[in-house]
Amino acid sequence: MIVVIDYDIGNLASVVKAFEYLNVPVKLSSDYRALAEASGIVLPGVGAFGEGMENLKRLKLEKRIIEEVRTGKPFFGICLGMQLLFSSSEECQETAGLGLIEGEVKLFDRNKVGKVPHIGWNQVEIIKKDQVFDGLNGENFYFVHSYYVKPVRDDVILGKTNYGNQTFAAVVRRDNVWGMQCHPEKSSQVGLSVLRNFSGVVLNANNSSN
C-alpha cells in the first residue's frame, strides 16, 4: 500500500487517481498508523512553502515523516512536496523545511527566465541512472512553479531542466527519498511511467524486508 499524505493542500486527489489508474493499492491519509503501515509514502502538493509546513506541523506529521524516512521506506515528494524536503525556502524564510535534503528553495530570477511562474511542458534530462526514471530521458513533463530547489550537494541531482537562461534541479534523490518538481500525475504516459516505476521500487523494498 502506498499512502499519499493528506495535509489539506492542493492536488492530492489527482495523484491518488493516477495510482488507482495504474492499479496500485493507494490510500489518502494523515493517520499515523497508516504511514507506519505503508510500504511507500508520497507527499504531493501545490501551494506555499509556509502553509505546507504549517499544515504538516499542525497534523503532527513533520516528525512522523522523518521517522518513516529513517526506516528506509521509499518516499516521493512532488512539486511543493519536493520543496518541503529541503532545509529552507526564500518564500517563507522563518519556516524550516523537513531537512531531508540539504539545500534551499529559491525564487526564479525574472531577468534570467522571463516569465514567472514557470508553467507548461518542459524537457527533463536525466543525468544519473535511477530505477524511478528507468527508460526515461529527455521527455517533456508538466511544470507549475515559481520556486526551484538548489541542493547543497550536486550528487543528489538526478535530472535537470532548462528554463529561459537558467538550469535547475528538476529531479533529486537522497538514499530512499526522491523528489520531482514537475507533476507526473499531469504528464500523460511519461508521468504514469514515473509513478509505475516508483511503485516497483516500493514493491521491491517491501519484498526484501519480508
Residues forming the active site: 79, 183, 185
CA dihedral (190, 161, 178, 106) in degrees, to 10, reads -140
CB of 199 within 8 A of CB of 24?
A: yes
Handedness of CA 52, 46, 6, 210 (dihedral sign): negative
Backbone angles phi, psi at 150, to 5 degrees: -125, 95
Residue identified by cell 518513516 is: 68
Output the DSSP codes for 84-124. Answer: TTEEEEGGGTTS----SEEEEEEE--HHHHSSSSEEEEEE-
